[in-house]
Structures are given as structure tokens and as C-alpha cells.
Amino acid sequence: MKLMTALVNVALNLSINMDNTQRQYEAERNKMIGKRANDRLELLLQKRKELQENQDEIENMMNAIFKGVFVHRYRDAIAEIRAICIEEIGVWMKMYSDAFLNDSYLKYVGWTMHDKQGEVRLKCLTALQGLYYNRELNAKLELFTSRFKDRIVSMTLDKEYDVAVQAIKLLTLVLHSSDEVLTAEDCESVYHLVYSAHRPVAVAAGEFLFKKLFSHRDPEDDSMPKRRGRQSVNANLIKTTVFFFLESELHEHAAYLVDSMWDCAGEILKDWECMISLLLDEPLPGEEALTDRQETALIEIMLCTIRQAAECHPPVGRGTGKRVRPDATRIDQPLKTDPCFHTLPYSVDAEKVTNLLQVPQFFDLEIYTTGRLEKHLDSLLRQIREIVEKHTDTDVLEACSKTYHSLCNEEFTIFNRVDIARSQLLDEQVDKFNRLLEDFLQEGEDPDEDDAYQVLSTLKRITAFHNAHDLSKWDLFTSNYKLLNTGIENGDMPEQIVIHALQCTHYVILWSLAKVSEGTSKKEDMLILRKQMRAFCLMCQRYLTSVNTAVKEQAFTILCDLLLIFSHQIISGGREALEPLVYTPEASLQSDLLNFILDHVFIDQDEDSNSTDGQQDDEAGKIEALHKRRNLLAAYCKLIIYNVVEINTGADIFKQYMRLFNEMLSDLGPSFDRSSSAFCGIKELARRFSLTFGLDQLKTREAIAMLHKDGIEFAFKEPNPQGEGHPPLNLAFLDILSEFSSKLMRQDKRTVHMYLERFMTFQMALQREDCWLPLISYRNSLQAGGDDDTMSVVSGISSRGSSVRSKKAKPATGKRKLPEVWMNREQSMQTPIMMPSPHLTSTIMREPKRLRPEESYMGVYTMTPDQQQQHTHPQTPQPQHHQTPMDYNRRGTGLMEDDEEPIVEDVMMSSEGRIEDLNEGMDFDTMDIDLPPSKNRRERSELKPDFFDPASIMDESVLGVPMF
């Protein structure tokens, strides 16, 4: 291919020289007869003739290389060769577009976009990018674009992220060349990728979105002077961003949208002055005001842009980005952002307020002092105080608490001012809570609803602030404990009041522990903390028997946290002084915790009514309930891992998993769907469990071997009652056991494989139905990497095979084989009969990842006399060759037009078991490379055949490739 590229370069130079010679000849011939130099005309004619002969010779050489090499090798069995062919043909079309940039050559690139290897598909896209980048070539690409546009769009969802990124970039170039090529459906399929978790894909989609929606500016805007605020040029672009965000209906993913467009539209997204103007100013004449929903979306986008500019890293789920210096992680523009806090009405919904309250967390606090902006700080504190007094939403109150925590930084001079405002606010709330609680508890068994609401709202505010601020100087433990004790005695305490009282008391314990851990507190403080902690744990244990499920979940979660915090590990790291605080749960408490897990976690999905408000049919509610159950189980498993509870309680947890697995097998049978979510979840659990064995295979060798031994015995323990022709009932467990095959040492895989074959019959080895796939996949996992004599299909039989076998015949030194005592399952097992296998000849190729003939599975099974008679005379082996041809015939009619899947696999090369001779049957007539005529000489014959002429296309029946 490199030789062909060099010839193309020579042909291009010859074409240029021929054009120059032709122009010189025409100029000399057009002179007057008296001034015409006949000798020069003869020299120019001779030179043109020589150039013509050279060009004809180059054409013949290129035709020979193209028909003899490229046509065969562009679908070679080796992916690297196919990638080189596509890369070079892209160079030819870009270098010498007059000769090669036509549909007769473009079709090869279009076909190869369906290759099963990502690197080949990637070369196709990069080759096309070089062509679409040059706008002068767009006219020659119109038909190719219309024919293969759908395939390029589908490649944006390719399983290889690099391919998907280049496909989006190619569509961006197509969009740049013409807006009419891509339909609305095509664009929408790229738009949603801005929310992709893979950042390069999302950034490429963001650039596509920017080109499509934001690049159409009015030319008059560039000539007019720059305007600010609502009259800015960016106002319409910001509104377009809001409209797109709302139409995508992914209202929790604004950070991902901002991150995707940050590189290409950062100037627009950082125009916070324009955003605030859209929120505050009146609309211009003829302009529609933003709706309430649009204002909420704009505030969320503004918050995400401020966070992106301050933190300088992608959102969660898109990896870690490069962080800037800590002193540069705050916005130094309070003048542009503060007005929104003392001008916007705070009677709006909670979502708007929550987002607005997070903006001051990114301020540069020094600017309040250096810029003499104390009045803005007072206004901000006053607004936050009003929000706390008006709102009871938990998210809003937590946002206020975090904002106060951000402003109460002792490094800045504004600390005293903010601390005074915070103390005044909390004094009022604590006094109000104590007064309301006293009246509420005196009402007895029939509390007033208004009083209960007042107690709950005040308790919510105190709990939200206690999460981030130390309220130890207010004795909140006594009042909360009294409230909880009354709820246990009367049994009619409102659910939310109990939940927030438990949470607030938990914060009291943790803040007290923090003060004691510093070593500055008195000994009485530690004794008080020990007494309060034990009393509170007992109170939470009593609430585990509550009727309300939400209260029990809150008590269980807090109990698990406290038991883990105050376990024996609290004295580690030189903190022996905290030994009096160590708390070991009693047997009754451990029993209550385990019973809670068994009663509320290991239940059927349909029976779970926890915190779903009767919406069992709602998928979102079921998913939320599932996550809650997982969190509860994780909290309890931490107690087992850190030896807080008895280790034998873990057996009860594993029993539940085995019960669920057995129930799944009994309900679905041995032929259940292996792609179901339940089975995939168990397999994922096995994969994660296998990772706990670490990388030291010698250390875990015996354990892994015994795991495989027991797993194999379990899989074949219960035969199928329908007969031997059906798989054992537990055979599906082999699919899970295959997750641990990679942990076996190379020499142990063969030993385990031999042990597996003891349980198999000859008929089992020949089964290929779906119900036997666990056995097939497990055997393949044991054979992968376990035999050094595996040959490659594409490389042929080398002399290395004999040397490897000779080395294997020598006894291994320095390696300890796995003990074979555990392999003896039955002493009465019959000795397997070895089958004769066909001898390898020069025309036979063994398929990869198979055992040698003497190690084939056919040689380890007991066969009947009839079976032995059938295999006495092996069939004559059929010749096989190194090349794997393309299997286009199964694609149907049309040039890959039936391929509608977003990710195409195994569409280029046929399976390894179907190896045919690529060189046979390829003597068809392909096009001859006919270089285009010079501009000023006689027109030569056109390139043949016409790409879209059915009478002149290649013989489709011979090539096996559908044409246009």
C-alpha cells in the first residue's frame, strides 16, 4: 500500500507536468508564424509523448497493485492489514482527488465502516474526515453522503468510544458543509450524547450541538456595538440553551450539558450578567418573558456554569479533571452575582431558592472587605435569614446551612459579622423549639396538628444547621431525648418528628465526639458522651420495633453508624484515651439488627412497600426502594467486616443469596434467560467477589482451586429428571464460576479442566443448544491461556509448534503442580478411551484456542462401541486457508442498508470456523485506474465502470458484496 501511495504521488506529478507542457505547447503554437519556434514545438511534443508513456506505465502498475493487492487485502483476516488499506486509500483520494475521489473507490470505505474491529472503523472515519474537511470536495461526496449517512449516524453509538467520537466529529464536518444533509432525526440522535458519561463523546456532541444551534448568528450583530445584559448578543443563545435543556427532559443533568459545551461555548456560558438580566429585567418590546419553568432551568444552568468555572473539573461520573490552584477556585465577581439575592423575590418555589443559595459558596470572600462591599454582605445575610424563616423544605434549609458554613471562614475578616448573624438566627430557632416542645408534650395523647407542624418545621431547621455547625452550647440532647421517649411511651408521635429528632440527636453525639477527640475537653465531657451514646443506642433499638417503616429504617441506619464509630477501632492511631467510649453491642441488639435485615431487605420486590407511598407500579419508585434496601444491607455488612457484630451472622446473609438463587432456578428452570437482570446481578456479584482475591495467585492458589472443585460438584450434583439429554439443574452455576477462572494459574487450568471432564459425558461435549452455554463458556474460560500450543488462524502452522511441544515434553522444574488428591471424585470411574485424531497436513489449519489433537475433549470421555465404530475412520480433512473472507451475503440486498443497529459487530469478517480461500474466485473485472486527462489535451476514456450504472458494476455474484 505504501508503494501504491508512492506511485500515486508520481502520477500526480506527471499529471502536473503534462498540464504545464500542454500549456507551453498551446502558447507556442498560438504565436504568429514568424515568431513561432518549430524546434520548441517538436521538443514539447516529444516531452508530452514521453510523459504520456510514463503515465500509461504508472497506470498499469497502479492497476496491477489495486486489483492484485488492495481488492483482496482490504478484507484481509488481519485487522491491521485492513486498517492500512483503508488508511492508504484515504490518502490517495485526498492527494489525487481528480483520479480517486469517485464512488468507485469511496464504496470500499463505505463497506468497511461495518468492520467488526474498531481500529478499522476508526480508519474509515479519519479518512473521510480528511475529505469532508476540504469544502472543494463536497460536490464529489454528495452521493456517498446520502448513501452512507445512516451508517455514520449509527456509529455515534459505537461500543468503541474512539470510533464514536470520530463519527460525531465527521457529522460535524458534514453539518459544516451543508445544513440540509442531516435530518432532524439524525441531529437528535447526536444531541442526547451531550449527557454521555464518556467525556470525549460528550464534548464532541457538544461541539455538534453548538454548530447546529448556536452558530447561526445575524451578520448585523457583529457590526453593531457590543451590548450588555438582556440586550446582549448572547441573550438569544442562552435562551436557546434553556429551551434545549427543557426539551431533553433530563432536569438533573444540567452539569453534564454545561461540561459538554464548556470548551466550545464557554464565552456564552460565562455571561452571568446576561443571565441575571434575563431573570430580573423586564422583557423588551415584542419579546416574550421567560416562564416559571424556564427561569428554574436558567438558574440551574447558571449555577452549573459558576461551579464549572470555580472547580474546573467535570461533574461526577466523567472522571477527574485537572484542578486549578486552591486560591483560584472562587469567583471574584460578586458585583455581578450579588444583586440577584437582594432583588429576586424569595417566595418562589424551593428549587429556585436551593440553586440560588449555592452561588455564594463560590464567591471570593475577600472582595467584601477589599472592595468595601459590606452592605452587599448584610443584604445577603438578611435574605438567607428570611429564607430560613419562610421555608421548611429540607433541601432549602441544607443549602442555607452550607452557605453559612462557607461564609463562616475564620481566614476572612467577615467571620465575626457572619458568626453574629448565625448565632442570632440559631438562638431564636432553639428558643422557639424548646417553647413549642414543652407545650406540645403537655397536650398529651391528642396533640394539635398546628402545634405538631410548628414543632416539625423548627426541628427541621435546627437539624439542617446542626449537620454543618456545632450547636453544642445549646442543650439539644435533653429536649430531643424527651421527645423520643414520649413517642415510645405514647406510640402516636408523628413520623417526621421522630425521624428528625433521631437525626438531630445523632448530630449531637457526633459533634460531642469531635470535641472529645481533640483532647481539649474535660473528663466529665467524655462520661456525659458515653452515657448519652448508650442511652441513645438503646432508644434506637426500641424504635426498631416501631410500626412505621420509615422510622425503623432511620433508627437502623443511625444504629449501624454509631456502632461502627464507637467500635474497638476508635482507639486506633494513638487514641487510647477514648477507650471508655468503646461500645460492644449486646446479643439482643445484634439479633434485632439481623432480624431487621431479614425482614426488610431480603424480600420480594412486589412485597416492598417501604416509602413508595403506594406507587408500587411506578418503576422509579421500585428503583428507589431497591437502592434503599441496598444501602441498608451495606450498612449492616460494614459491621460484619469490622468485627462489630459476630462474624457468624454473615452466614445468614449468604444463606439469603443462596435461597434467592435456588428460587430463581426453581422458578425459571435450567433453560432460563441468562441475560435477565436477576442472573446478571448474581454474575456481577461473582465478578466483584473474584476481585477480592487480589493479584497474588500463589497466595490464593489453593482457595481458588477448591472453589472451582466445589462449584463443579454443585453444578453437576442434581441431574435433570427429564433424562441425560437435558442439562443438570444447577448447570447455570458454571456461568458464574467462570468469573473466577482468571484467578487460576496457567498450569492449574488444565487440572481443573480435567476434573470438569470427569463429570461430563461424551454427549455433553457435543451439545450446542443454549441451555448448555454455561458449560461451553466455562470450558472456554479454562482453555483460554491454558495451552501454550494454541496456533493462530491467520499466522499458519509455524515451526514454533514443534519446539513448544518438545519443551512441554520435558519435566517442569521449579514449578509445583496443584495437588491431585482433591481431583479423585470416584475411584470406580472408568478409564477414558482415547480417540484417533486426523493427522495435520500442510493444508490443514487448527482453529485458535483449541487443544492439541492429543488433548482434545474427544479423548477423555467414555464411548460406547457404536461410537467407537463411527470414529474409527476419520473423515478426510478439507483444505483450509489463511484468509477469512467477508460474509456480506447475509446482509441482504443493498449496500449495508439493512444494518440499523447502532453498534455493529461481526459484520466484516466471517467466523473463524468458516475459512475459505480468498484468492480463489477473485478473477473478476475491477475498474482500471485511469488517471484523468489533462485540462488542455484531448479527453480520454472515462473511468470504468460507472459506479451507479447497473450494467457496468462489478459482478455481484462473484464478489459476494452487494452494490449500490
Mean pLDDT of 424-434: 93
The pLDDT of residue 703: 84
Q: What is the 3-state secondary structure (H, E, C) of 39-91?
A: HHHHHHHHHHHHHHHHHHHHHHHHHHHHHHHHHHHCCCCCHHHHHHHHHHHHH
Q: Which of 881, 887, 931 is nearest to 911 (CA)?
A: 887
CA distance 309 to 333: 12
Contact 28, 41 (CB under 8 A): yes
Mean pLDDT of 20-33: 76
> All 3 cell numbers of residue 920?
480463489
Q: Alpha helix locations (H) across 66-160?
A: 71-73, 79-95, 97-100, 103-112, 118-132, 142-154
The per-residue pLDDT for range 587-610, each reduced to its tens digit, is 999 999 999 998 988 887 655 544
CA distance 617 to 823: 51
Mean pLDDT of 279-297: 85
Q: Please report which confidence band the pLDDT of residue 332 belongs to, taking 50, 70 and 90 as the band edges.
A: very low
On the question of pLDDT at 861 being above 70, the answer is no
- Looking at the DSSP assignment, which residues form a beta bridge with residue 363? 331
The pLDDT of residue 448: 77
Q: How far is CA 827 from the centre of its chain?
A: 51
On the question of pLDDT at 868 being above 80, the answer is no
The pLDDT of residue 626: 86
The pLDDT of residue 671: 56
768 or 235, greater pLDDT:
235
CA distance 874 to 892: 37
Contact 908, 120 (CB under 8 A): yes
> All 3 cell numbers of residue 311?
472547580
Count H helices and E strands in the chain, helices first.
40, 0
On the question of pLDDT at 357 being above 60, the answer is yes
The per-residue pLDDT for range 407-425, each reduced to its tens digit, is 988 888 888 999 999 999 9
On the question of pLDDT at 258 being above 60, the answer is yes
Q: Please report which confidence band the pLDDT of residue 956 belongs to, taking 50, 70 and 90 as the band edges.
A: very low
Q: Which of 265, 203, 223 is nearest to 240 (CA)?
A: 265
> All 3 cell numbers of residue 746?
496457567
The pLDDT of residue 439: 86
Q: How far apart are the first and last CA of the chain?
A: 26
The pLDDT of residue 478: 92
Q: Phi and psi (nearest 5°) for 942?
A: -75, 160
Contact 717, 728 (CB under 8 A): yes
The pLDDT of residue 31: 73
Extract long-range pairs of 375-383: CB within 8 Å, 24+ residues apart: 376/334, 376/335, 376/338, 376/342, 377/414, 377/417, 377/418, 378/417, 379/338, 379/341, 379/342, 380/338, 380/341, 380/342, 381/407, 381/417, 381/418, 381/421, 382/342, 383/341, 383/342, 383/346
Q: Alpha helix locations (H) across 642-745?
A: 649-668, 677-691, 701-715, 733-737
The per-residue pLDDT for range 144-186, each reduced to its tens digit, is 988 999 999 999 999 999 999 999 999 999 988 877 888 889 9
Mean of the per-residue pLDDT values of the chain: 75
Q: How far is CA 936 from the centre of its chain?
A: 57
Which of the 8 DSSP states describes residue 953? Answer: S
Contact 45, 21 (CB under 8 A): no
Mean pLDDT of 492-517: 93
Report CA torsion sign: 247, 253, 256, 262. positive
Residue 722: count other Cβ atoms within 10 Å of its Cβ.
Answer: 9
Mean pLDDT of 443-472: 86
Residue whose grid cell is 467407537: 868
Q: Please report which confidence band the pLDDT of residue 729 belongs to, taking 50, 70 and 90 as the band edges.
A: confident
The pLDDT of residue 917: 36
438 or 793, greater pLDDT:
438
CA distance 101 to 82: 19
Measured CA distances, 109 to 64, 178, 844, 902 (Å): 20, 21, 33, 18
The per-residue pLDDT for range 102-139, each reduced to its tens digit, is 888 898 999 999 999 999 999 999 999 989 988 888 88
CA distance 880 to 916: 6
Instruction: Return the CA Rg of the chain.
Output: 38
- The amino acid that residue 281 corresponds to is D
203 or 524, greater pLDDT:
203
Contact 677, 631 (CB under 8 A): no
The pLDDT of residue 550: 92
Residue whose grid cell is 467524655: 526
CA distance 78 to 73: 9
Counting Cα atoms < 13 Å in the Cβ hemisphere of 895 gives 21
CA distance 255 to 206: 13
CA distance 824 to 758: 9
The pLDDT of residue 446: 65
- Collapsing DSSP to helix, strand or coil, 331 comes out as strand
CA distance 325 to 781: 48
Mean pLDDT of 870-879: 40
On the question of pLDDT at 58 being above 90, the answer is no
Residue whose grid cell is 441488639: 589
Strands in 462-521 per DSSP E? none
The pLDDT of residue 590: 93
* Residues with Cβ within 8 Å of residue 190, at least 6 apart in sequence: 153, 156, 168, 171, 205, 208, 209
CA distance 274 to 290: 14
> All 3 cell numbers of residue 906?
461481526
Q: Which of 258, 216, 212, 257 is nearest to 233 (CA)?
A: 216
Q: What is the 3-state secondary structure (H, E, C) of 838-874?
A: CCCCCCCCCCCCCCCHHHCHHHCCCCCHHHHHHCCCC
Contact 324, 265 (CB under 8 A): no
Extract long-range pairs of 634-638: CB within 8 Å, 24+ residues apart: 635/556, 635/557, 635/560, 635/561, 636/560, 636/593, 636/594, 636/597, 638/560, 638/564
Residue 251: count other Cβ atoms within 10 Å of its Cβ.
Answer: 13
Name the range with the highest mean pLDDT among 33-47, 402-416, 781-795.
402-416
CA distance 524 to 357: 40
251 or 392, greater pLDDT:
392
Q: Which of 257, 256, 362, 367 is nearest to 311 (CA)?
A: 362
CA distance 340 to 356: 8
The pLDDT of residue 463: 95
- Range of weakest confidence among 42-51, 267-276, 401-410: 42-51
The per-residue pLDDT for range 893-922, each reduced to its tens digit, is 333 333 333 333 333 333 333 333 333 333
Residue 941: count other Cβ atoms within 10 Å of its Cβ.
Answer: 8
Extract long-range pairs of 325-331: CB within 8 Å, 24+ residues apart: 329/362, 330/362, 330/363, 330/364, 330/365, 331/306, 331/362, 331/363, 331/364
> All 3 cell numbers of residue 618?
411506578
Mean pLDDT of 328-338: 40
Q: Alpha helix locations (H) across 179-230?
A: 184-191, 199-209, 219-223
Q: Please report which confidence band the pLDDT of residue 402 belongs to, taking 50, 70 and 90 as the band edges.
A: very high
Q: Please report which confidence band the pLDDT of residue 932 belongs to, taking 50, 70 and 90 as the band edges.
A: low
Which of the 8 DSSP states describes residue 194? Answer: G
- Angle in degrees, 0-180, between the axes of helices 587-600 and 549-565, rounded to the nearest 10: 130
| 17 CB burial (10 A radius; 0-12, 13-18, 19+) | middle
CA distance 856 to 766: 12
The per-residue pLDDT for range 61-108, each reduced to its tens digit, is 888 888 888 888 888 888 999 999 999 888 888 888 887 888 888 989
Mean pLDDT of 580-593: 92
On the question of pLDDT at 810 being above 50, the answer is no
Q: Please report which confidence band the pLDDT of residue 876 belongs to, taking 50, 70 and 90 as the band edges.
A: very low
* Residues with Cβ within 8 Å of residue 153, at least 6 apart in sequence: 167, 171, 182, 186, 189, 190
Contact 29, 36 (CB under 8 A): yes
On the question of pLDDT at 889 being above 70, the answer is no
Contact 575, 656 (CB under 8 A): no
> How long a stretch of residues is the chain?
964
The per-residue pLDDT for range 661-696, each reduced to its tens digit, is 666 666 655 556 667 766 777 778 788 888 878 888
CA distance 107 to 147: 10
Reported pTM: 0.67
* Residues with Cβ within 8 Å of residue 580, at least 6 apart in sequence: 526, 527, 530
CA distance 44 to 404: 89
- Angle in degrees, 0-180, between the axes of helices 549-565 and 523-543, rounded to the nearest 10: 150
